[in-house]
Amino acid sequence: MNRDFTKIVDELCREKGISRQALEEALHNMIAAAVAKKIGKYLEPEINLDLERGFLDVKIPKEVTETAVSNWDELSLEEAKAYKEDPQLGDMVMVPINTDTLGVQAAMVGKQRLQEKLREAEKQAIYDEYKNKIGEIVNGTVINPEQRKTKINIGKTEAILPYSEQIFGERYERGSHIRAVLLEIRANDKDKEVPRLILSRTSDEFLKKLFEAEIPEVFDGIIQIKAIAREPGERSKVAVYSIAPNIDPVGACIGIKGTRINAISKELRDEKIDVVPWSNNPIDFLCNAISPAKVLLANVFEDDKNVELVVPNDSLSLAIGKRGQNVKLAAKLTGWRLTVLNESEYQKLRQDRMLKQEEELKKLYEIYSLENISTLTPEMILTLRNNGIDDLQKLSETGVVELSTFLALSEDEAIDLINAAVDHLEAQEIDDMDEEGLDDLDDADDIDETAENELSDSGNEQ
């Protein structure tokens, strides 16, 4: 093999980013395909290829015959003596050949196989290099600034920045520098093409990596990013927490005169970034997330993961934000559904709830009232209440002996009284309710006061 060929091999390895071993395998397959085209795929050649030494030796099997008719698969007995000691008719002898004699068709087949193997090796090399870089920022140069998908040169290969991953309103020029996060490696639909590297400038991960790049405390792990919510190119909220008590996480991320956060914002087409302190107390975190609006009261409804936030009358638009952006990002950041009300709206809503609660309690009282049993006199009702039996549910659950003692009744009269309570409840089609259910209804009117106290305590801590 010509020594110049090894130089070509080195250049090819550098250009394609593949190893010598991969290229050697591709060349081996090329030669095997070319030989198979000439002598048939059922006869296995011997191929000895060494790119380091620039050595190539190809041998093909030939059958020893009295008179060789075919130059490619037969060998005369006399000719065989040059390659094997004491050859016999019918023996298979491996004979070296010059690959230049394989012909044009064989060369074309070999070239096709080489191209296939090189593409496979190139795909694998790209995948191996970038598979561990998913989620990392890559730098590149714009090659083809199409709106649908912009092609980016990131070194040894190209990447795609799809329209869905572009910040709205950004325009890219050919040759301009760009930064993005490697979002995924997507297998191409066509096996012949290299895998597509998909970039993103809209993902939360890109914003997180920019924080790590611009803020040393975040990179070192002293300040942790707990949650991110983005409207790419417009506004985002980032919840941060410091493991070091002496470091203010918000101040460190913003920097002196906003230098750190402004550098990140500029990279994101002047995206407004709110940095808020994270807290494991849901009330505190919610109040921080809705900033810059101040929260006066928060009602938490854990069953449906919903929170009512009450703000001053003149702060409602500030809390909701332009096109509802502020409250939407706060909800996404905290994972709670948020309802924002001003003081006036909340007072009206509270009155409506209290009226509804009063109606429910009145209805309950009417259903469970001891006065529903006609055989109970006012004196008997007073006695029952003095002994803790103040509704029909409790009366229906009272023991016969106990009831007889309280009211000075016979056992039969006590049984009749208990049965009357049970019959009334069944007639109202009300299922038995345990004391916990009744207590919940009785305490419903205290929910606002409890939430108010919790918020007041958290406000004092802040």
Of the residues 127, 143, 170, the one at which a domain ends? 127
Q: Which two tokens stand for residue 34?
A: 């070319």
CA 97, CA 10: separation in Å to the nearest integer? 26
Strand ranges (DSSP E) for 280-398?
297-301, 306-311, 337-342
C-alpha distances in Å from residue 42, one per residue of 4, 36, 57, 70, 109: 33, 8, 20, 16, 16
Give the Cβ contact number of residue 29 at 10 Å.
18
pLDDT of residue 15: 66
301 in a structural domain: no
Residue 194 backbone phi and psi in degrees, to 5: -70, 160
Q: 383 and 422 share a domain?
A: yes
For residue 173, what is the domain's CATH number? 2.40.50.140
The sign of the dihedral angle between the CA atoms of 72, 78, 79, 83 is positive
Q: Which two tokens stand for residue 364?
A: 């309950």
For residue 211, what is the domain's CATH number? 3.30.300.20
Q: 396 and 434 share a domain?
A: yes
314 in a structural domain: no
Which single residue is written with the structure tokens 């002496």?
246
Please name the residues in contact with 252: beta carbons below 8 A apart, sequence gap of 6 or more.
215, 217, 223, 242, 260
- Order of strands across the sheet with 223-231? 223-231, 235-242, 272-277
Please name the residues in contact with 340: beta carbons below 8 A apart, sequence gap of 6 or more.
290, 293, 309, 311, 316, 319, 320, 327
Q: Which two tokens stand for residue 356?
A: 């509804």
Of the residues 148, 177, 202, the one at which a domain ends? 202
| pLDDT digits 0-9 by tens, 115-136 | 666 677 677 777 777 888 899 9
Q: 163 and 265 share a domain?
A: no
| pLDDT digits 0-9 by tens, 57-83 | 778 788 788 776 667 777 787 777 888
Q: 14 and 120 share a domain?
A: yes
What proportion of the chain, given as a percentage, has pLDDT over 90? 35
pTM, entire model: 0.63
Q: 47 and 115 share a domain?
A: yes
By residue range, what is the domain housing residue 269? 206-274
462 in a structural domain: no
Please name the residues in contact with 258: beta carbons below 8 A apart, sequence gap of 6 or more.
none
Q: Report the chain's terminal Cα–Cα distance, integer Å.
A: 79
| pLDDT digits 0-9 by tens, 348-366 | 988 888 888 888 888 888 7
CA 215, CA 253: separation in Å to the nearest integer? 6
Q: 112 and 140 share a domain?
A: no
Q: 179 and 78 share a domain?
A: no
Please name the residues in contact with 33: beta carbons below 8 A apart, sequence gap of 6 or more.
109, 110, 112, 113
Confidence bin at 189 (pLDDT 50/70/90):
low
DSSP, res 105: H
Q: 62 and 117 share a domain?
A: yes
417 in a structural domain: yes
Q: Which two tokens stand for residue 39?
A: 């002598």
Q: 183 and 103 share a domain?
A: no
183 in a structural domain: yes
Q: 367 and 385 share a domain?
A: yes
412 in a structural domain: yes
Mean pLDDT of 203-216: 96
Of the residues 202, 234, 252, the one at which a domain ends? 202
Q: How many residues does the chain have?
A: 462
Q: 385 and 428 share a domain?
A: yes
Domain count, the chain: 4
Residue 236 backbone phi and psi in degrees, to 5: -150, 160
